[in-house]
Amino acid sequence: MLGKTLKNRSKTLSTLAIGVVVGGAVAGGGFAVADSSAPRTDRQITNMTDEVSKIKAYYGDTVDANGEHWASPDSNYAAQVRSIENQAHKYLESKIRHDRSGKKAIVLDVDDTSLSTYNYELETTFVYNPAGNAKYIATKTMPAVFGMNTLASWAKQQGYEVFYVTGRPETQRAATTANLAAVGFPATEDPSHMFLKNTATPPPYLPCGATCTVIQYKSGTRAHIESLGYQIVANFGDQYSDLSGGHAERTFKIPNPMYYLP
């Protein structure tokens, strides 16, 4: 989510995306799409208050003494994430068991794939604001999405290079790297393997430059990673725009019912 412009951030509180995406098809569910057509009556709209309550129940909302919201490790959200991670673990393990050659890699999105923005979303009532978001990222540490830090660290130990590809702006590089390290994510072998959006000086391998869509930016960056000699065995994201456009052998969709990014 973070680092995208407000106009690009269309929300759907009624979209619960589930499942593992393989070659563009979703196992266990359909593609979630933000439907912006005008409802004919209010009965076609999910009540916002009810939907927020459902989101909080799904994440197992807990509130600490400072009023910060946390997802619970025994929530349905955590269980669903763990199920997807178990599939990814088996897949990554089988890939290296059968073929140890070459430079293998995984790609991780950051927000709501690696780090949970759940507390930020509740603080802002799901309304994204670039300045407020930048302040949050500069001053707070987001928790890991349950188990993703363990999965990424394990993959790194098995010989996978871990690449991060995020829509956060280049100006948030230090805070993002520090947050990931603070909650147990492995460092990349090379700091340049952390990709953030650089609209001021776009990299030459992205011909769309400063006007790239999320899909163009992310898939183009994965193509660049491949050009460095890496085989992207798995790509993890919470948005379909993280996963579309190819340049990964398999994609894993982390659930995120809080917002939709085209």
Positions touching Mg ion (CB under 5 A) are 109, 111-112, 238
Eight-state DSSP code of residue 230 = E
For Mg ion, the closer of residues 130 and 231 by Cβ is: 130
In whole angstroms, the minimum distance from the beta carbon of 109 to Mg ion comes to 4
Please identify the residue of the shown chain whose CB is closest to the bound Mg ion.
Answer: 111
CB of 166 to Mg ion, least distance (A): 7
Query: What's the closest the beta carbon of residue 225 comes to Mg ion, in angstroms?
Result: 18
Nearer to Mg ion, 33 or 45 (CB): 33
- Classify residue 167 as exposed, middle or buried by CB count within 10 Å of its CB (0-12, 13-18, 19+): buried
With beta carbons less than 8 A apart as the criterion, state whether 118 and 59 touch. Answer: yes
Q: Nearest approach, Cβ of 125 to Mg ion (angstroms)? A: 19
> Rounded to whole angstroms, how far apart are CA atoms 13 and 64?
24
CB of 75 to Mg ion, least distance (A): 19
- CB-CB contact of 145 with 81 (8 Å): yes
For residue 241, the minimal CB distance to Mg ion (Å) is 9
Minimum CB distance to Mg ion smaller for 61 or for 111: 111
Residue placing its CB nearer to Mg ion in the complex, 95 or 108: 108
Helix axes 76-98 and 48-59, enclosed angle (nearest 10) = 50
Residues 6+ apart with CB under 8 A from 69: 56, 61, 62, 63, 118, 119, 122, 123
Round to whole Å and give the CA distance between 137 and 176: 8
Closest to Mg ion by CB, 230 or 236: 236
Give 121 or 238: the residue with its C-beta nearer to Mg ion.
238
User: Contact at 8 Å (CB) between 165 and 198?
Assistant: no
Contact at 8 Å (CB) between 164 and 114? yes
